[in-house]
Amino acid sequence: MIATILGAAALISIHMSQAEDLPCTRQLDKAIEQLMAKEDVKGLGVAVTEKGEITHLATYGYRNVEKGLPLEDDTVMYGASLTKAAFAYMVLQLVEEGILDLDTPISSYLPNPLPAYPKWQTLTGDHDWRQLTARLLLSHQSGLANLRFLEPDQDLKFHFKPGEYYAYSGEGFRLLQFVLEEGLDLDVKHEMQTRIFNRFNMPNTDMQWRDSFADNLADGYAMDGSFEPHDERSNVSASGSMDTTLKDQANMWKAMAAGRLLSKTAQAEWTKPQINIHSKQKFPTLAYTKTKDPRAADITLSAGLGVITWQGPKGRYFSKGGHNDWTGNLVICEEESERCLIMLSNSVRAEIIFPEITQMILGETAYPWWWVYPNIAKLNEQ
């Protein structure tokens, strides 16, 4: 682990719903600011939720360093793949209402064979697509690449039989979105807005760019500190088009961790292990599919629906991250206590300090840093 500069602050355990814990909150703020300064993290938002309540909500640093604009809890940030967890939760609402079944092949919902559609025509002659279900797509068992542009000539194909392995696939989520829209005549933007964002009090979250976001927007910063303006995402993508804020994410995760709008059975399905994960690391997706690391088995690392799950010191945990070259987001939840740590950053360097912040707030979680962030895990071990 990185040599700590925090002294006793690195060992604090935080339960911020009580007034007498406010000194600990100030101590946490100071500790986070020290870590950010050490690793040159430009902006970071941290929230903690427990039993349906937000117990901590704080932002640090800047949404735009060059202009000296501070990051605030209602600053619009890129949600990246946190979108996948919210999309999966929305899909479970459809399942509860009998609109969709997790284990019915997608061929039952599409009026035409999948390769008949231009976006999926490269699958012509390969019948593995007929084995795909919503469950397999949401738990990254499709056999498709993470992103089609990573394939030679964008020639999307199956790299293993659906259900055979875990391999992270944004294309799988995009395919399920296509099934909902083409096969069930649903508008995914509308369904996400009405079923998730509106119901969970998320006024500044959308699957598509809004012009009003420009008034309080976080720009991005790469690992080398270089600046990247916030991308105005016009295409709705279940894989990762969500723009959001720290406050909205806190509202969303406190509700989802509590199972709001789902039965206990459906909520349990969201975080239930769907397939064990054995690989040495998560990315590049297909490079490590068939590898094995005993540390994964030690914590029963598994895929849920849009999240990962594992066994830690306080029972089952579940988590979802979001990342691109300028964004670092991570949510970690203790299932039994419904306690979640939400970290959003417009500076990808924040991922370097995520382990220490997690240790300060949640204590030991057995989170698989070595699997999700292998390069950072090696750096922290030095």
pLDDT by residue, tens only, the chain of 382 residues: 444 434 434 444 444 433 334 447 889 999 999 999 999 999 999 999 999 999 999 999 999 999 999 999 999 999 999 999 999 999 999 999 999 999 999 999 999 999 999 999 999 999 999 999 999 999 999 999 999 998 988 889 999 999 999 999 999 999 999 999 999 999 999 999 999 999 999 999 999 999 999 999 999 999 999 999 999 999 999 999 999 999 999 999 999 999 999 999 999 999 999 999 999 999 999 999 999 999 999 999 999 999 999 999 999 999 999 999 999 999 999 999 999 999 999 999 999 999 999 999 999 999 999 999 998 876 676 6
What span, in angstroms and rounded, lies between the C-alpha atoms of 344 and 46?
A: 7
User: pTM of this prediction?
Assistant: 0.94
At 154 the pLDDT is: 84
Alpha-carbon distances of 23 from 4, 26, 309, rounded to whole Å: 20, 5, 33
At 87 the pLDDT is: 99
Give pLDDT tens digits for 241-283: 999 999 999 999 999 999 999 999 999 999 999 999 999 999 9
Of 78, 74, 44, nearest to 242 by C-alpha is 78
Give pLDDT tens digits for 332-379: 999 999 999 999 999 999 999 999 999 999 999 999 999 999 988 766
At 274 the pLDDT is: 98
What span, in angstroms and rounded, lies between the C-alpha atoms of 256 and 237?
A: 20
For the chain, the three-class secondary structure string (H helix, E strand, C coil) is CCCCCCHHHHHCCCCCCCHHHHHHHHHHHHHHHHHHHHHCCCEEEEEEEECCEEEEEEEEEEEECCCCEECCCCCEEECCCHHHHHHHHHHHHHHHCCCCCCCCEHHHCCCCCHHHCHHHHHHCCCHHHHHCEHHHHHCCCCCCCCCHHHCHHHCCCCCCCCCCCCCCCHHHHHHHHHHHHHHCCCCHHHHHHHHHHCCCCCCCCECCCCHHHHHCECCEECCCCCEECCCCCCCCCCCCCCEECHHHHHHHHHHHHCCCCCCHHHHHHHHCCCEECCCCCCCCHHHCCCCCCHHHHHCCCEECCCCEEEEECCEEEEEEEEEECCEEEEEEEECCCCEEEEEEECEHHHHHCHHHHHHHHHCCCCCCHHHHCHHHHHHHHC
At 20 the pLDDT is: 39
At 45 the pLDDT is: 98
Provide the CB-side half-sphere exposure for 213 (13 A, CA).
Answer: 26
Name the region of 259 (left: φ>0; alpha: ψ -120 to 50; beta: rest): left
At 8 the pLDDT is: 37
At 23 the pLDDT is: 43
At 376 the pLDDT is: 85
Of 18, 41, 21, nearest to 357 by C-alpha is 41
Nearest 10 degrees: Cα torsion 368, 373, 377, 380:
-120
At 201 the pLDDT is: 98
Of 267, 243, 240, nearest to 146 by C-alpha is 240
What span, in angstroms and rounded, lies between the C-alpha atoms of 77 and 281?
A: 27
At 195 the pLDDT is: 98
CB of 51 closer than 8 Å to CB of 15: no
At 25 the pLDDT is: 85
342, β-bridge pairs: 47, 331
Angle at 93 between CA 92 and CA 96, to 5 degrees: 85
